[in-house]
Structure formats: C-alpha cells, structure tokens
Amino acid sequence: MKNLAWLLTTIPLFTACSPAPETDSSVPAAEATAADNSGIQAGVDYHSFSNPAEVTVTHLDLDLTADFAASVLSGSATLTYQKQTAQADTLIVDTRDLNIQSVTANGETLDYQLQPADPELGAALEIDLPERGNKVTIEYATSPQASGVQWLTPSQTAGKEHPFLFTQAQAVHARSFIPLQDSPQVRVTYNATIHTPEALLAVMSAANDPDTERDGEYDFTMPQPVPSYLIALAIGDLQFKPMGERTGVYAEPALLDAAAEEFADTESMLEATEETYGPYGWDRYDLLILPPSFPFGGMENPRLSFITPTVIAGDKSLVSLIAHELAHSWSGNTVTNATWRDLWLNEGFTTYLTYRIMEMIYGHDRYRMEAVLGYQDLQEDIAALPANDQILAIDLRGRNPDDVFSDIPYEKGALFLRELEQKVGRENFDQFLLNYFKHFAFKSITTDEFIAYLNDTLLAEYPDKLDSERIDQWIFKPGIPADAPMPTSDAFSIVDQARQDWLSGEKSATNIDTAQWTVHQWLYFLNNMPEELSDKQLAELDDAFGLTTSSNNEIAHSWLMIAVHNEYQPAYDRLYDYLVSIGRNKLVKPLYRELSKTPQGKAFAQKAFAEAKPGYHPLTIKANEGFVN
C-alpha cells in the first residue's frame, strides 16, 4: 500500500453511498420518450426468486466461520418464517454460488431443490416446509469467488500483517454469502455468531461492542428489521476510537487516528439531523474504514457505515460522504425502497438530506458549490444515458439491478425534492419529511405508495402550489423538467473568469491566484475545461499547479481524465499507479472506459488491469473487464 497521501480521493460530492453511481458515457442518448411501464407491477421484485407473499422470513440466526486459507465462509443460517397463507408448503430463498450441504427442521432433514442458476440472479433454493414449527436451518459454504465477499491478503491491507474480509450486499449480493429472501421488501431482525482467527476482530451492521474481548468468537444482534442488502460483515486487524457519545470509528491501526480526526464532525452531523428530521433510531452510529479496494465511496450499513479510506483528505473537504451515509439512517435504512425500481426513494431523499446536513454544518457557500457540481454530474448522465434510464421509477425488468446506479436516482431525485421544498417552503417541507420518516418507519415502500402519501399530504395542503401532472413528469419521464431549480454558486464565478483568461492567453497559469481555492473550485476549474487541450497548455497547467502529483485523488482523477482525452504522456506513470492502487469503481471505470477508445490506450489499460485485478473487488472487475478484453 502506498502512503496515506497517495490514497486520497473523494466521493462524487453527494453520492456514493450506497454504491456510487456509475454510468457509461459511451452509451448514446436516446430520444426523450417515456418508458413503457405499463407491464410493471408495483411492489413485485423482478430480481428475487423468493416468495414472501406466501412465506415471509422474519428473523435470521447466523453461525459462520471465516476460513482465510480457503476464502470461504461456512456454517449455518436458521430462518424463522411466517406463512402468509394456510396452504403454503414451500419456502423459496435466493442463493448465488452457495454449496448447500443440508436443510433441516426439528432435527429432521428436509427435501429441497436448488434450481438452475441465472447468470445475474443466482439460483432459487426451494425448501419443502415441515408440518410443524416455523424455522429451517441451512448448512452451507460460500464460494471463494462470492460476488459479495472480498478476501484480502496481508499485503493488500494497511498493516500488512493480517488478512481482511468484507462483504458488500447491495444490490443482490447478500445471496452470495447467506441463503435468504434477498429482496429489499423483506425485512428481518438477526443474530450472528462469527468465528475468526484470534488476532482479528469481527464487526457487523448490528450492535457492536467496542470493548469486546478479541478471542475469535463474536456475537451480534440487530433488533431492528432490515432488508437483506444491509446485512454486512468485516473481519480484520481493527481498533476502535470514539468520536463522540454515540459515534466512533473502526480502522486498522495505521489509519485510526487520521480517520477519527477527519470525521470528528460526525456527532455534530448526527445531532443536527435529529433536530430537523427526528430521533436517530439505531442506537450508535460508527464508521468502518476499509482497505482501498472497497469498490464504492461508502455503504450505509446500519449502525456501522462502511467507508473508503480515500476520503481521508486531511482537511474535511470530502466528508459529504459521511453526511450521505448518515442520512441513510433516515432515508433508506428506516424507510426503504421496496424494489430496485424504487431506488430513488433511498438515494434521492438521502442526497437531498446530504445537502441539507452539509449546509447545517459547513455553511451555505459550501452547500452551493457542491450542489452545482452535483447538478453538472446529473447533466452529464442525462446527456449519456438512454431516455428510459433517465426515469426515476426505472424499468429494470430483465436487467442486472446494479444498472440502476447512476446520478439519476441520486441527483435527479434530490432536485425533485428541492423543487417541492421551494414551492411549499423549507419549514413546511421539513415537517413533511419528519412525518414521512415517522409514518413509514422500518417499512419498505414503492414509488406508488410514496405518490399516494404525497397526494394525501403536500398536494392536499398546497393545491395551489403543487400538481400531480408535474410530479408524474419528475418521476416517470426522462430528463429534467423545464424550470427545475438550477443551483448556482458565486464562488465559481472567479473560477470561470480565471479559466477563460488562461484559455484566451490573457493570463498565464502561474498568474492565476488559486491560494484561496477550495477542492470544489479546483474540480470546477478542471471539469469545465474544453475537451481538447494542447501538450503545451497541459504542461503549463501541470508545471504551475502540480496536478499530476496532486495528493487529492479526486482532483487527480479530473486531471487524469483530461490527460487521457489528450494523450498527455507525462501523466501516464501516475495514471498507472492510480489504477493499480485504488479499487473505487467510480474513479477507475471512467479512466478504463476512456483508455479503451484507442489501441494504445487499451494496451495501457490491459497492463494496469492485469496488475490490479488480484486486489480489485469482484464488482470492480465485472464493471471494467469489458473495457480491457
């Protein structure tokens, strides 16, 4: 692992929670026509084989052993279920590449069938239920190639002495390490016992005891019902440091102090969010800092958000990621999308809350800058995506549910909520959100249920300010509706002027006064450069600002994209190191995609990918192997 400064990077400034949105700008934009949603049944999960309408799993008991030598989790999952119909006699759960060893109930073996596997969704496990009781126990082991588990060797960690394991279940990867009803509409409580090597600590998206004895056996409880994609496990050489009364951070020793200092405002964020949107419902809120191979910026696993180390910037400039994952404690974890078509109910609300939290803690100027950058990300996606993928209530039938992750559910969803706020007033909209989170607490809902609630509340209260036709346009039509709110920032005016003066030759790069520029101004400066620049221009920028050697890898990312567009060779050594040392898909995928457009670039990408692949997460490999093959 490189030193900490080398790893610095950011999230997309209001996304990357859940998996950071990934889009492919090589996809041509389609004509702006609405999707054919006529055949979609609201609430039907097209990405799960399970049958919760007949038999619903309500609780999970796990007993698993981590075998680092074999890269396998093995043990048992006991499912407590409730029959929804008296005649129900089969429980169907989701699996992917699991070695099912036995299924029992009441001490007796049950008949079961493991159906042929679908390449995207895995295989249905159909269990004949016993005549009495309400529990079945599945003995099983995971595959070393489980899509939701990454096993790291000591050399791939910060300490380089012990191995590391972490899971990533969203969207449908929980089934690769637990046989369960892997649908967000099915919520379960769970208990778990995890067996590890004695030198390692296990943590989960559950109640963690920071003072637990490190003895190789760890017990967990999750008393609140959660969807399967929020079940998470990590095992490594972890230590804990508190940041406040209810907040703290787990990390490898080499990263612990830096992480605690960087994220010291987490407790203040928690308190500010509670004051506006109601009590935090999950007891503690801790962070887990993962190795740099983590494929996303962060994951909102309840009680314990999983975080990339690449946001430890030393200046708190990238902590909107923490605000985003914290906000999910209300929007996403407490009120959850019922299917992946409804993801915008998670991510749009959470992105809106992220902006609000950042404004509360860091002020209006920073909020405005981040909002402009988020809006530009949204515009890029709308220009690149087919019309049907620009719709909030997206049609994902027959597709991998990971395809839902773009800036559409995040930034378009947040922009829609900002319009509602502006039309009814911030105080009134805050009251609406507080009531909404309370009304649907610990439930999974559909877009249709949200619209019905909106009709009964805001539309009924403000018929002169809101109308259903406009709301349907936001949710079911592509693009951004006319006259939608457009964020602006005075802080970017000087950046625009500086860029224009340099491009026109009126001012040299060394004469641009950047002493007071923030990270957001630098990103705006680079992201809005013309696509084609000369080697002379690029060298001038690089010499003046040291962009190739920037210690902030979000700035470096923007610069490297410019370098690849223009085949600026002096940046290619850094580009290579960047690709092989960072596994965050949001950052590496655009570079692989751009490199693959020329024969020379593709050869370069192939070499970097081959070296990086052993340390990449399975999801990062899957997302990028098409560019190098």
- Any idea what DSSP says for residue 443? E
- C-alpha span between 152 and 123 (Å, rounded): 27
Helical residues (DSSP H) of 457-566, grouped into ranges: 458-461, 468-476, 493-503, 519-527, 535-545, 553-566
To which residue do tokens 């935090």 refer? 280
Residue 325 appears among annotated catalytic residues: yes
DSSP string, 134-172: SEEEEEEE--TT-TTEEEE-GGGSSSSSS-EEEE--TTT
Q: Which is it for the CA torsion 583, 585, 586, 592, positive or negative?
A: positive
- C-alpha span between 91 and 84 (Å, rounded): 11
**Are 409 and 354 spatial neighbours (Cβ–Cβ below 8 Å)?**
no
* Number of helices followed by number of strands (H, E) in the chain: 20, 21
Burial 354-369 (b: 16+ CB within 10 A, else e): bbbbbbbbbeeebbbb
CA distance from start to end of the chain: 27
- C-alpha span between 420 and 462 (Å, rounded): 10
**In this structure, how many other beta carbons lie within 10 angstroms of the beta carbon of residue 257?**
13
Q: Which is it for the CA torsion 276, 277, 283, 286, positive or negative?
A: negative
- C-alpha span between 599 and 619 (Å, rounded): 25
What are the tokens at 234? 């990590």
Task: Pick the closest to residue 220 from 202, 236, 237, 197 (CA basis).
Answer: 202
* Active-site option among 218, 277, 410, 572: 410
**Are 194 and 66 spatial neighbours (Cβ–Cβ below 8 Å)?**
yes
Task: Count CA within 13 A, CB hemisphere, residue 29.
Answer: 12
Q: How many residues does this entry show for the chain?
A: 629
- C-alpha span between 551 and 195 (Å, rounded): 39
Task: Pick the closest to residue 267 from 326, 316, 211, 314 (CA basis).
Answer: 326
* Active-site option among 22, 252, 300, 325: 325
- C-alpha span between 539 and 510 (Å, rounded): 12
Residue 410 appears among annotated catalytic residues: yes
- C-alpha span between 310 and 67 (Å, rounded): 28
User: Which residues are annotated as catalytic?
Assistant: 325, 410
